[in-house]
Amino acid sequence: MARPALIVHGGAGPVPEAERSLRQAAVDRARDVGWSAIGQGALAAAVLAVRHMEDEPLLNAGIGACLNSDGVVELDAGVMEGADLRAGGAACLRDVRHPIDLAVAVMEDGRHVLLAGEGASRFARERGVEMADPSIFITDRKRQELIEGADTVGAVARDAEGRIAVAVSTGGRVGKLPGRVGDSPLPGAGFYVDDRFGGVCGTGLGEAFIRLGLARVMVIELQHGVDAASVAKGAIDYLGQALGAPGGVILVPRDGPPQAVFNTPAMPWAMAQ
C-alpha cells in the first residue's frame, strides 16, 4: 500500500498582493475537493481538484481565464495516468464548460492524444461533455485583459494503490494569438507521469516548457534515482538558466512527500497526505 498524496497549484507569476490570499483560498478549496475523492483513485482526485479551479474566477482556467488578442477566452487542458501512460488533451476551446472533462474524454476514447478547436468541440458534443456559451468565461473583462503570469492550474495525485495521475487546465497567456497552444495539453512539456517514478506538472511560460520538454526531463531524473526535492529545484533552475523563463512545478514521487518549487513572486499551492 502506498501513502496517498495530493498537491495542487493555482499558477505561478506576479500575483497582485490584494489577490494572493484569495487565490490561496481558492487553491485550498480545490485541494479539499480533490482530497475528498482520493478514495476513488488518483485520477478522480486530480481531475476534481482541477475541475474546481476551472470554476474559481481568480484563477486562469475556465471562468475568469485571460483573454487572447481577439478579446475572447481560449482554453487548454491535459490529463495523464501513470499506470499505462494514457494521456488526453484539448486545446483552443471556446465553448466547453470544463476543459478538463474533455481531456479525460479524449484519453478514455484512446484514438488520439490531443484534439483542438472546432473538432475538439464537436467531439465534446458527441461525447456528452457539458458545453457553454463562450460569454460565461468572461466575468471581469478589464481584469482579464491585465492578467500576468499565474497561467495554469494543476494537480498531481497518488492513491493508496500507488497509482499516480496529473491534470492541468489553463487560459494560456494574456493577449496570445488566436490558436496558440501552450504546454498545458502536451504530455512531456507541461505534465508527465509514470507510476514507476512519479508525476509532475508545471506552470509558467509555456513556450519554454515546450522547448525544454521539461516535464519529461523531470520524470527521467526521477527514473535515474534523483530525489524528488532535487528534481523539482533542478527543473526550475534549468528553466531559468536555459531560457530565462519564469515558472513553477509540482511533483509527486512514487514514494515520499509532494514537492513544489517556483522562481516567480508567487505560486499558490496546497497539499494533503
For 7, counting Cβ atoms within 10 Å of its Cβ (0-12 exposed, 13-18 middle, 19+ buried), the class is buried
Q: How far is the C-alpha of 59 from the C-alpha of 11, rounded, in Å?
A: 8
Q: How far is the C-alpha of 142 from the C-alpha of 147, rounded, in Å?
A: 9
Percent helix, strand, coil in the chain, to 5, is 35, 25, 40
Output the nine-digit C-alpha cell for 186. Answer: 502536451
Q: Are 107 and 80 in contact (CB under 8 A)?
A: yes
The one catalytic residue among 139, 152, 170, 264: 152
Q: At what angle do helices 214-223 and 228-243 cross, to 10 degrees?
A: 140
87-93 and 114-116 beta bridge pairing: parallel
Active site residue 152: yes
**Three-state secondary structure call for residue 216:** helix
Q: How far is the C-alpha of 42 from the C-alpha of 161, rounded, in Å?
A: 9
Q: How far is the C-alpha of 264 from the C-alpha of 121, rounded, in Å?
A: 34
Output the nine-digit C-alpha cell for 12. Answer: 505561478
**How far is CA 83 from each of CA 166, 204, 247, rounded to the nearest angstrom?**
12, 27, 27
**Looking at the annotation, which residues are catalytic?**
152
